Amino acid sequence: MHHDTVTLDSQAKTLFEQYKDQALTNKQRLAVPVQEMPAQDPDVRRDNMEEVALGYTEAQVLIESIRCLQCANAPCVAGCPVRIDIPRFIAKAALGDFAGSIGVIKEASMLPSVCGRVCPQETQCQQTCTVGRVHKDIDKAVSIGRIERFVADWEASQGKRSVPEVGQSTGKKVGVVGSGPASMTAAADLRRAGHEVVMFEALHKCGGVLVYGIPEFRLPKRIVQEEIDTLVSMGVKIEQNFLVGRTATIDELMTRDGFDALFIGSGAGLPNFLNIPGENLVGVFSANEYLTRSNLMRAYDKAKAGTPLFDSKRVLVFGGGNVAMDAARTAVRLGAEEVSIVYRRTATEMPARREEVAHAHEEGVLFKYLHAPKEIIGNEKGKVEGVRIVLCQLGEPDASGRRSPVEIPGSDIVLACDTVIVAIGNSSNPLIEKTTKGLQVDRKGHIVVDEDTCATSIPGVYAGGDIVLGSATVILAMGQGRKAAKAMNEYLSDREHRGGSAS
């Protein structure tokens, strides 16, 4: 059932009257109900691109924060890839010290307004939260991500976003390849150290997957733009329309163009297909294409956009991750009559963020579990008209630890559709590997880096994010950007002390 913001806020206010000025015992804290995230009404949001989750109200944050037990061993911190001091920022939020709270987060994280929205908290900080464990229900863990989002948005709303201080010029020039979360973090940390930083972006807009991949209704583009604007005001130079590997190679940047070090955060940019018959029929799209058209090219605004979008009635989306949910929910908003997720396993194994799955359900997306696509069927005009599916049952756990689907012989069915969106992950884009002599990559084409420094096989060249990790999360990418920048700063200052120069 849908509750509006006003109702949720007044419930929180009533609770707050009850708890304020009280020293609470753990038992009392555990009795405080988890605060529901206010959201747009599903019937309304099906027809707009605006953000679905509206964010906690101040009263809700105060209540949610007192649910935290302030555990001495802080299992939540261990669950956070960048080790944000979670109990400390929640304690400050509970006191209404939102400035102090965001300050704590920013010690470890560069993009709290993004991570508060897109992190899979239920498999990270909230998975290990004591409160959820006591209740034996992960949905009752402290809503760490929602509190994080609130304090980040609070800071932005105050109009006094702090621009990180930039150190004295070192005279070193550093390039950052790509402008997604890994590159944004690396760029900020490198610039803070006083280096000249140039960020190279192939597309006409910065932000990487945050801009072309994640839809407006989940992460408003203005939030990403604010982060880019912060980098620009720190003095980071941005070179758009620059595809490293083609416009200039890594080697040309290092030897011809005078860069002292480079960070490669080019992302996982090559969409996977199932390699089943019919995947090149008209009406079959990679999720990357479908989402890029809608997000980056803004094709959802049919009256204004030059980029066309396919007119879909019945859509099947292959995959069970966040990208599959994004594609399905975009199709709903673009007017498709029936949108279904086709997934080989069950809800339990599905990698998508819980909140996104719940939102997709609310918006009318259908879920066809234990369905394995075998063939896409086309009509005489080469257009998709259906997908042949084999039904599955769950077998033994596979390498990923999830129970693997086992096909049931003879269970073939055909689902009718006019559009298929393939959202089964990405492989690494081979462009930089192919154009960079001596750059070591693994079997899957991911750049091989030193675990502690993110250094590649080429001196002065570092890498992080999806090009190293495969399809990972924003927060992991950010963590690598930070790690690499630290090592690069050390590398550049060592070289300066030795008086060395680029080879």
Partner 1 sequence: MFSIIEKQKLSAEVFRMVISAPYIAKARKPGQFIIIQQGGDFAERIPLTIADADPEQGTITIIFQAVGEATHKLATLNAKDAVTNVLGPLGQPTHIEKFGKVVCVGGGIGVAPMHPIAKGMKQAGNEVKIIMGARNKGLIIMEDEMKAIADELIVCTDDGSYGRKALVTEPLKELCETWKPDLVVAIGPPVMMKFCTLTTRPFNIPTVVSLNTIMVDGTGMCGGCRVSINGKTKFVCVDGPEFDGFAVDWDNMMLRLGTFKAQEQEAHHRCHIGLHIQEGDA
Q: How far apart are CA 33 and CA 187, in angstroms?
A: 41
Question: Tokens representing 84?
Answer: 């944000």
Task: Give 88's DSSP letter.
Answer: H
Residue closer to partner 1, measured from CB, 70 or 307:
307
Pick the closer one to partner 1 by CB: 124 or 286: 286
Which residues within the stretch 382-401 sit at the binding site for partner 1 (CB under 8 A)? 382-383
- Where b means 16+ CB within 10 Å and e means fewer, 106-139 reads bebbbbbbbbbbbbbbbebbbbbbbbbeeeeebe
**Residue 400 has what DSSP assignment?**
T
Distance CA 258, CA 457 (A): 19
- Choose one: 22-30, 304-312, 385-393, 478-486; the region binding partner 1 (CB under 8 A): 304-312
Least Cα distance to 377 among 420, 343, 340 occurs for 420
227, containing H or E segment: helix 221-233
Sign of CA dihedral 307, 313, 318, 321: positive
308 is an interface residue for partner 1 by CB under 8 A: yes
In whole angstroms, the minimum distance from the beta carbon of 333 to partner 1 comes to: 17
Region binding partner 1 by CB under 8 A among candidate stretches 153-161, 292-300, 319-327, 349-357: 292-300
DSSP-based three-state secondary structure for 322: helix
Query: Closest CB to partner 1 among 196 and 433?
Result: 433
Is residue 43 within 8 Å of residue 6, measured between CB atoms?
no
- Find the shortest distance in angstroms from Cβ 270 to partner 1: 5
Between 288 and 436, CB nearer to partner 1: 288
Among 136, 304, 443, 498, binds partner 1 (CB under 8 A): 304
Minimum gap (Å) between residue 132 Cβ and partner 1: 37
**H-run or E-run covering 182:** helix 181-192
Q: Does 241 bind partner 1 (CB under 8 A)?
A: yes
Binding-site string for partner 1 from residue 185 to residue 214, where x marks contact by CB under 8 A and - marks none: -----------------xxx-------x--
Binding partner 1 by CB under 8 A: which of 41, 47, 137, 311? 311
Neighbour tally for 55: CB within 10 Å: 19
Contact with partner 1 (CB under 8 A): which of 23, 72, 165, 306? 306
Print the binding letters for residues 211-230 with partner 1: x by CB under 8 A, - otherwise.
Answer: -x------------------
Query: What sign has the CA pseudo-torsion 252, 255, 259, 265?
Result: positive
E strand or H helix at 403: strand 403-407
Q: Count of residues for the chain? A: 503
Q: For residue 424, which amino acid is it?
A: I
Cβ contacts of residue 324 below 8 Å, gap of 6+?
287, 317, 318, 341, 343, 352, 421, 423
For partner 1, give the closer residue by CB, 83 or 298.
298
Q: Strand, coil or helix: what is 96? A: coil
288 binds partner 1 (CB under 8 A): yes
Which range of residues in 43-51, 146-154, 301-309, 318-326 is near partner 1 by CB under 8 A? 301-309
Closer by beta carbon to partner 1, 33 or else 382: 382
Query: Within 401-430, which residues bind partner 1 (CB under 8 A)?
Result: 429-430
| Residue 310 in the binding site for partner 1 (CB under 8 A) | yes
Pairing of strands 371-378, 366-368: unpaired
Alpha-carbon distance of 245 to 256, in angstroms, equals: 14
- In the complex, the smallest distance separating the C-beta of residue 54 from partner 1, rounded to whole angstroms, is 25
Taking CB under 8 A as the criterion, the residue among 243, 394, 406, 415 binding partner 1 is 243
Binding segment toward partner 1, per CB under 8 A, in 141-149, 225-233, 235-243, 468-476? 235-243
Sign of CA dihedral 285, 288, 291, 295: negative
Among 246, 258, 347, 414, binds partner 1 (CB under 8 A): 246
Site map 248..287 versus partner 1, x via CB under 8 A: x--------------------xxx-x-x---xxxxx-xx-
How many chain residues bind partner 1 (CB under 8 A)? Answer: 45
- Cβ-based nearer residue to partner 1, 288 or 330: 288
Is residue 493 a contact point for partner 1 (CB under 8 A)?
no
Q: Is 301 in the site for partner 1 (CB under 8 A)?
A: yes
Q: Can you tell me whether residue 49 is helix, strand or coil? A: coil
| C-alpha dist (Å) from residue 386 to 69, 170, 264, 319, 412 | 52, 61, 41, 17, 13
**Could you give the CA distance from residue 485 to residue 489 in angstroms, rounded to a whole number?**
6
Give the shortest CB-412-to-partner 1 separation in angstroms. 23
377 makes contact with partner 1 (CB under 8 A): no
| Contact criterion met (CB below 8 Å) for 502 and 255 | yes
Helices (H) and strands (E) in the chain, counts: 20, 16
Q: Which two tokens stand for residue 474?
A: 């924003």
**CB closer to partner 1 out of 217 and 290:** 290
User: Restricting to residues 127-166, which ones interact with partner 1 according to CB under 8 A?
Assistant: none
Six-digit token string for 33: 């109900």
Which residues bind to partner 1, rule: CB under 8 A?
A: 202-204, 212, 240-243, 246-248, 269-271, 273, 275, 279-283, 285-286, 288-289, 292-293, 296-298, 301, 304-311, 381-383, 429-431
